[in-house]
Amino acid sequence: MWLRRFSQIGILLLFIGANKWGWNILIGNLSSAYVFETFYLSDPFAILQILLAGFILGADVLIGGLIILLIYGIIGGRVFCSWVCPMNIVTDTALWLRKKWKLNEIQFHTPINRNIRYWVLFLALILSVFSGVAAFEFVSPVSMLHRGLIFGMGFGWAAVAVIFLFDLLVLKNGWCGHVCPIGAFYSVVSKYHWIKVQHTVENCTDCMECFVVCPEPQVLKIIGKKSGSINNGECTNCGRCIEVCDDKALKFIKREKIIRRNENE
Ligand code: SF4
Ligand code: SF4
């Protein structure tokens, strides 16, 4: 967890440093960052919305989006959510307080379907086509928070507060696990990434600690049943399950090892 916080806060500091002290490591924001004043890294979901809205983007920004798509889609999976996104600190804080104040019992009687986020994603893309603006970028609380922390927060605090209270009082992992279309986008494009969590059933004692800490417990279907990798793109590769597993039944593994293991079986 400390590594993740180091990554999230470190990346944020690099953006703030560019604005306040003239650092040239990461200039811009999460939608598009100019790296070492040499090349761009861009948010592929934002690019998709902008293109659907009918705008034309420069080749450097498009290449920047492709780089990010390849890094997350092929290598790291949905690591944006657990290692980069500043909203994750807000929602993790709400989750921590939920547990501390024993608010976990407060839930809707009917469990909210986690697939809502895919509908929000779909809606964001369709609205971009018909409205002529990048629909979710227009209202994205993630962008509001990130831009606000770098350039100064206006009414963005209200959006962040709503998400914090929603996660704290209404639904556990409500925003990131049920609503956010950015997480949904990276879940869709990250299905075949290389770095995955591997489960070894021989070491598993069925304590289910991993289920308790996992922000996306539906991805842990194989726990206690069979050895294999967590292949669901909704896994954020946060490593929380590995951290709590005292039986060494979970670890990160690279794709080549997964393939070799499958060939040996
Ligand atoms: S689901 Fe959305 S808000 Fe949550 S960490 Fe991912 S991008 Fe950020
Ligand atoms: S399976 Fe593990 S790495 Fe994946 S989201 Fe759950 S806790 Fe994080």
Which of 208, 229, 238 is the pocket-test mutation for ligand 2 (most atoms within 8 Å of CB)?
238
Continuous segment of H or E residues that includes residue 26: strand 26-29
How far is ligand 1, taken at its centre, from the CA of residue 17, in Å?
A: 23
The per-residue pLDDT string of the chain (265 residues; one tens digit each, 9 = 90 and over) reads 899 999 999 999 999 999 999 999 999 999 999 999 999 999 999 999 999 999 999 999 999 999 999 999 999 899 999 999 999 999 999 999 999 988 876 655 556 899 999 999 999 999 999 999 999 998 999 999 999 999 988 888 999 999 999 999 999 999 999 999 999 999 999 888 899 999 999 999 999 999 999 999 999 999 989 999 999 999 999 999 999 999 999 999 876 555 555 555 5
User: Which atom belonging to ligand 2 lies closest to the Cα atom of 237?
Assistant: 3
How far is ligand 1, taken at its centre, from the CA of residue 205, in Å?
A: 31
Residue 208 · residue 219 · CB < 8 Å: no
How far is ligand 2, taken at its centre, from the CA of residue 186, in Å?
A: 15
Check residue 192 and give its pLDDT: 83
Residue 78 · residue 234 · CB < 8 Å: yes
How far is ligand 2, taken at its centre, from the CA of residue 232, in Å?
A: 10
Distance CA 206, CA 225 (A): 9
By three-state DSSP, how is residue 171 classified? coil
Which ligand is in closest contact with the Cα of 218?
Answer: 2
Distance CA 243, CA 152 (A): 35
Pick from 105, 48, 87: nearest CA to 177: 87
Domains of the chain and any CATH numbers: 2-188 (no CATH), 194-264 (3.30.70)
With both helix axes pointing from N to C terminus, report the angle between 181-189 and 116-131 in degrees, rounded to the nearest 10: 100
Q: Is the minimum distance from the CB of 197 to ligand 2 under 6 angstroms?
A: yes
Check residue 108 and give its pLDDT: 53
- Token pair for 146: 């990130």
User: What does the CA dihedral 46, 169, 96, 252 come to, rounded to 10 degrees?
Assistant: -50
Reported as a single tens digit per residue, the pLDDT across 102-134 is 887 665 555 689 999 999 999 999 999 999 999
Check residue 258 and give its pLDDT: 52
DSSP string, 94-130: HHHHHHHTT-TT---SSPPPTTHHHHHHHHHHHHHHH
Distance CA 179, CA 189 (A): 17
Reported as a single tens digit per residue, the pLDDT across 188-210 is 998 888 999 999 999 999 999 99
- Token pair for 3: 């590594």
How far is ligand 2, taken at its centre, from the CA of residue 196, in Å?
A: 9
Check residue 109 and give its pLDDT: 52
Q: Residue 113 carries which DSSP code?
A: P
> What are the Cα distances from residue 216, in Å, to 20, 206, 233, 238, 240?
37, 18, 10, 10, 11
User: Which atom belonging to ligand 1 lies closest to the Cα atom of 183?
Assistant: 1
Check residue 156 and give its pLDDT: 85
Check residue 119 and give its pLDDT: 97
